[in-house]
Structure 1
């Protein structure tokens, strides 16, 4: 049975259920399993399996201490009737492939869930997995989910955990640094166990504070005395990461069914990412046998990952930019730590020293052999704000297809970066509905943009013949229920108050 341990130490070890319940290791590291890749998914049979079958197979391989019946129940609860498409994550062909090499390109739509963002795929699953972690002495223990969001995780986590028995959820978001629609999604959230709070600072500030909260042993003891344990819904939680592996296999299965590729053909995936979780799931899929020619990191103007992947030096001491792709406005990519662990052949001492250097000096440089291993699998590119807008317009003009600013970063990179050798198809992961960012999208398309986001949605609908998701359009007029704002140093006390009110 797979055992999970910190990226920074081989002991102690935990089952998958224990790792999910804890969220983050006591030493600040992220949970990994050295058995990743021991169980391969049979590529020859993918075309015959729907999303539900694939999810059961992939999750069963990565979370082996859950019974088959538990996994099946989680999959049904998370995905049956909760997404707009029966495919859950449908694949859409582009009429005109971006780039000059003519390799066919597709968009994997990950935003068909209840909050119109890719985080729904994992955050409809995580509460179900979490609900099945309590046994024996933990059965009566309540869980407080604490999460920092750069825009989409917050609402998706709220939608998953609101009114969940035995759980509470506290979400922090950077005040004024998410879209108006994203903010309303969170501030109007109903639920007796819900706390939403703005933070005076950026996402990195909030995420770092959340990690400190998890590492606060005195706080943990006070909460334990009150019968509460903290856990996370960010992709630092392995239970958030693992469900995302499924849609890489689902994309490949859809390509097979469409006759676009043959089993064994290599596919390249381009992923807009800031915290590195979405693309790390692709790395997990590759380790599990998916034929991936390359994983391409697409960044916005906060291009810290691009610099790392090209130089081997990760440096967070740089200007922070607020862009039209706020979910990628991140300078500390937490999930990169998991990749460093695997790329260094499980060198916990190296990972621990790199993370200490990042904390103390704001940067680190990986050994040349580790960088070389990473560059064998990962490519990269980035787009500035003008290029993002141009990509939205270019995709619409060429394909009659509307994309959001995050997806546009990836579209631009596909235009600029030739496909990896022996690539049969390229898949761009589309992480959010364009209607979450109507002003940015309408402006890029040259449309008159009213000052009100909801009026802007209507302009976008009329001009493109598309329809805003009801859950976004219906935000207009909903009462705002959460108006709290705190400084970074007030986050811990806020969490403690919320936890003790469960």
Structure 2
């Protein structure tokens, strides 16, 4: 299987080469040139396996240039060794009317761990396989969770460095603490004066600056990405859709071949796109519900076919979804149209005018698979309170957005089993969660808030968050968005 650009520059790469490169030369995203197919026997076979074994089976469908032994080794190093606080890695909490896929049991308490514990292993293996001699500098823009998960995953990984940019005032206090206290000899963290889209656009501009990249390359440094623009970040996420289905099958909630639906809180579209790949491979999925917060550019697109980022940007209590430029939508458009020239034209329009219109025919194809809804902060808080009142289950501010959208979808008479994809531990957003639960928190610091939430929750405070109390702040750099290239150059040793 080869990997090609969504924008059609005829560049073909193996999966190892695509993972090292991160982004195609023309600015497009790498996608497989064919989508593998699995049958129900493959899916039923997953029920007897551990998460690690399930991952090896699914990943093997896409990483065809990796040996079985290489994939198994990568998976064991990513998900083994006690890194996850649940043996199931991605446990499915099955309730009467919905099931909750908990993707936050890893070292940084967010779903990004599912991919960012594995990506460094895939990259490190790829460097050896391809004989790459350059040091690889991982460039990351984060709206909160990706940054810490990438830093933790790449910490002291041989032949790599990593620099993370985050919006100065656009992440939760816990998220910021997680990043600025990060240890490791090969890591850097820099705040950007602006929002996430400013940071993400800055990173993309650096990747696209050929002169800048050439200078780095002369010095023995190659850029790559740990954002979901990198195929190595996206492919691990396909696994947990299969795993959730296998768990429902194993529990007798469904029979082989029954359709289920997923509701996914998403801003950059990568998490839900992984579900689309699972569906295209043969997983029986009826609908993928895209749940947005007040920055509901995706909801509008999935309703009208017009993507328009020319709108107000809102800081919400679900900051990991505070995004107006959803990078991974480009991959979906390619697979739906199979027309790289058209995708390139839409992306050019987005860059130049801030909008594009895919038209009625393409929209209808997308709507056959994707539903959508959104919730503002008030509704999100009401949902947290209602879920706790009814079930004594505490959802974080992103999971609650999905829960509300799933509830509205089911009220429309859709009766297939529903899986709510839970993307973060409530402890990462304890102030908002406790406020939603009606608790008095005035004057409490972050760690008193953690203790308060623990008193109401059946899940313990994650060890990584508890350890922040005495962690040393190691990173305090703040730059204008225009100064991001200089920050990269300095960290790469070029200034």
Task: Report the TM-score, using the length of structure 2 for normalisation.
Answer: 0.97
Partner of 1:307: 300
Partner of 1:481: 474
Partner of 2:84: 83
**Any idea what the Cα deviations from partners look like across 1:124-157, whole Å, max 9, x if unmatched?**
0000000011258743211000000000000000
Once superposed, what is the RMSD of the aligned Cα atoms? 1.5
Q: 1:159 to 1:36 in 2, by over 3 A?
A: same
Partner of 1:100: none
Instruction: Kindly indicate whether residue 380 of structure 2 is the aligned counterpart of residue 379 of structure 1.
Output: no
**Any idea what the Cα deviations from partners look like across 1:200-258, whole Å, max 9, x if unmatched?**
00000110110010011111111111111000000000000000000001101111111
Partner of 1:101: none
Q: 1:196·1:484 contact (CA, 8 Å) conserved in 2?
A: yes
Q: 2:265·2:291 contact (CA, 8 Å) conserved in 1?
A: yes
How far the C-alpha of 1:467 sits from its partner, in A, is 2.1
Q: 2:9·2:26 contact (CA, 8 Å) conserved in 1?
A: no
Instruction: Kindly indicate whether residue 416 of structure 2 is the aligned counterpart of residue 424 of structure 1.
Output: yes
Structural mapping, 1:34-433, within 5 Å: 34-38=33-37, 42-80=42-80, 81-95=82-96, 104-135=97-128, 138-344=131-337, 346-418=338-410, 423-433=415-425
Q: 1:163·1:192 contact (CA, 8 Å) conserved in 2?
A: yes
Q: 1:267·1:423 contact (CA, 8 Å) conserved in 2?
A: no
How far the C-alpha of 1:47 sits from its partner, in A, is 1.6
Give the match's secondary structure for 1:429.
Answer: strand
How far the C-alpha of 1:419 sits from its partner, in A, is 6.9
**Any idea what the Cα deviations from partners look like across 1:271-315, whole Å, max 9, x if unmatched?**
000000000000000011110010000000000000000000000
Q: 1:393 to 1:137 in 2, by over 3 A?
A: closer
Q: Note the residue ranges of structure 1 that are not aligned, 5 or more in a row.
A: 96-103
Separation in 1 of the partners of 2:393 and 2:328?
A: 31
Return the match for 1:449 from 441, 446, 449: 441
How far the C-alpha of 1:12 sits from its partner, in A, is 1.3
Q: 1:293·1:423 contact (CA, 8 Å) conserved in 2?
A: no
Q: 1:139 to 1:28 in 2, by over 3 A?
A: closer
Task: Report the TM-score, using the length of structure 1 for normalisation.
Answer: 0.96
Q: 1:499 to 1:421 in 2, by over 3 A?
A: farther
Q: 2:191·2:479 contact (CA, 8 Å) conserved in 1?
A: yes
Q: 1:276·1:335 contact (CA, 8 Å) conserved in 2?
A: yes
Separation in 2 of the partners of 1:38 and 1:419?
A: 33
Give the match's secondary structure for 2:368.
Answer: helix
Give the match's secondary structure for 1:87.
Answer: coil
Q: 1:444 to 1:139 in 2, by over 3 A?
A: same
Count of aligned positions? 492
Q: 2:165·2:199 contact (CA, 8 Å) conserved in 1?
A: yes
Which deviates more, 430-439 or 50-59? 50-59
Separation in 1 of the partners of 2:23 and 2:422?
A: 28
Separation in 2 of the partners of 1:394 and 1:177?
A: 27
Partner of 1:497: 490
